[in-house]
Every structure is written in structure tokens, then in C-alpha cells.
């Protein structure tokens, strides 16, 4: 397990040395949400009704912005080829990189969400549900995003192509997550939405590292 922990810590240290790659998606997340009250309406009733959708769309786009750095740096310096030809499990190496990506992107989004929820006039219970949906679903965003990032790793200026590949796969997560918060605001049960998000997470965790590994091998041929 040492090599997988080393991969995880190496990605974390690399991000710390290049803070702009971590801060830019988070700043986009904060700024884009902060602009909605100015663009739509400052009324609490209106903002609270659409708050879940606003935060979730911004979360998805922030994760998408950070996916370009998942494999490209290792591709440029030749580390990715060494990972592919090594005797270590490529899916587990990729999973280590995905975990690092989630720690750098998903966890800060989860921690920032209560503050932004208050900005959009969400009540305490809805904020708790919002954080729960983010906790369940942001790992899925990183896992699914890794598939797209592995497919276009050898293509320069591939941000638009990555968006076209990944955003349709994010739609079910957006629907169930925002629905859970809206249901909580109305005092209705949210078990079904949480079960669906948990199922997506489990399926993504089981399949995404293997699909990403196969995609990397194809991309590097």
C-alpha cells in the first residue's frame, strides 16, 4: 500500500506547491454563487427556493474546472507512462489520484457550502441536507470526471471536450442532490434521493478506476 499512499501524498504536495490549480476552482465556486443574488433578486424567498440548484451547478462546474490537472501534469513529465507500465495496480494508482483530487476540491466545497447556504437564505435543516448530498456526491463527481480526464489526457486545450463528455453524466447527480434539498425544505422525506446518490457513489467507486485505467492505456498508445 506504500506506493498508493505515496501517490496520494505526492499529488497533495504538488497541489500545495501550485496553489492556483486548487484555489481557482474554489474561487469560481464562491464568486459564481455570490453573483446570483445580484443577477436574480435579493429576496430571501426566491433565493432559498433555487439555492440548492445554484450551489450544485456551481459545485459541478468547479469540479469540472479542476479535472484538467488530474492527469495532465503527470502526462507532461512522463510519470503517467511509468504508472501504466509499472507492476503496480493501475486502477489503485488512479484511485489514489482521485482521492487526492477529492480532498483538494470536494472537501473544500463541502466546508464552504454552509456559508454559501446562509448567503442564499437556506434554513439549518436544508444546509445539513446540502452538506450530506455534497458528501455523498462529490466523490462521484471526481470518480466520473476521472474517466473523461483519462480519455482526453493526450489532447491539448481539451477543456470544452471534457465538458461535453462529463456534464451529461453529472445530470443524474444534480437531479437527485438538488431534489433532496428541495424536499427537505418542504418537510418531505429524502431517503430515496440519498439512496440513489449512495448507489451512484458505490457504482462509480467500483467501475471508474478500472474504466479510467483502460482509457489511459488507450490514450497513451
Cα 164 from chain centre: 16
pLDDT single digits (tens) 99-149: 999 999 999 999 999 999 998 888 899 999 999 999 999 999 999 999 998
pTM: 0.90
- Whether 154 shows a pLDDT value over 80: the answer reads no
The conformation of residue 189, written as its DSSP 8-state character, comes to: -
- Write out the DSSP string of 29-79: HHHHHHHHHHHS---HHHHHHHHHHHHHHHHHHHHHHHGGGTTHHHHHTTH
Pick from 57, 70, 55: nearest CA to 21: 70
Tell me how far apart the alpha carbons of residues 181 and 194 are, in angstroms, rounded to a whole number: 10
Query: And the C-alpha cell for 52?
Result: 440548492
Residue 162 in contact with residue 68, Cβ under 8 Å?
yes
Mean pLDDT, rounded, for 31-44: 84
What SS3 class is residue 188? coil
pLDDT single digits (tens) 71-105: 887 777 777 888 888 888 889 999 999 999 999 99
170's enclosing H/E stretch is helix 159-185
pLDDT-based confidence at residue 1 (cuts at 50, 70, 90): low
What SS3 class is residue 157? coil
- Above pLDDT 70, what percent of the chain? 98
Q: Compute the mean pLDDT over every residue in the chain, rounded to the nearest whole number.
A: 88
Mean pLDDT, rounded, for 195-206: 96
**Res 192: pLDDT:** 92
* Residue 69 or 32, more confident: 32
Amino acid at each position: 500500500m506504500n506506493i498508493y499512499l505515496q501517490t496520494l501524498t505526492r499529488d497533495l504536495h504538488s497541489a500545495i506547491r501550485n496553489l492556483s490549480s486548487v484555489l481557482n476552482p474554489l474561487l469560481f465556486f464562491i464568486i459564481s454563487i455570490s453573483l446570483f443574488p445580484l443577477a436574480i433578486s435579493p429576496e430571501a424567498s426566491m433565493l432559498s427556493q433555487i439555492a440548492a440548484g445554484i450551489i450544485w451547478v456551481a459545485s459541478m462546474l468547479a469540479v469540472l474546472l479542476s479535472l484538467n490537472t488530474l492527469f495532465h501534469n503527470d502526462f507532461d513529465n512522463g510519470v503517467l507512462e511509468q504508472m501504466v507500465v509499472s507492476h503496480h495496480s493501475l486502477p489503485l494508482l488512479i484511485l489514489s489520484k482521485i482521492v487526492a483530487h477529492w480532498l483538494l476540491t470536494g472537501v473544500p466545497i463541502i466546508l464552504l457550502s454552509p456559508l454559501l447556504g446562509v448567503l442564499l437564505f437556506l434554513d439549518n435543516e436544508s444546509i445539513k441536507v446540502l452538506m450530506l448530498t455534497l458528501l455523498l456526491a462529490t466523490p462521484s463527481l471526481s470518480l466520473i470526471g476521472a474517466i473523461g480526464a483519462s480519455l482526453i489526457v493526450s489532447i491539448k486545450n481539451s477543456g470544452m471536450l471534457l465538458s461535453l463528455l462529463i456534464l451529461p453524466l453529472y445530470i443524474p447527480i444534480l437531479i437527485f442532490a438538488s431534489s433532496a434539498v428541495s424536499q427537505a425544505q418542504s418537510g418531505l422525506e429524502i431517503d430515496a434521493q440519498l439512496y440513489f446518490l449512495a448507489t451512484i457513489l458505490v457504482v462509480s467507486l467500483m467501475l471508474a478506476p478500472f474504466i479510467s485505467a483502460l482509457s489511459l492505456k488507450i490514450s497513451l498508445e
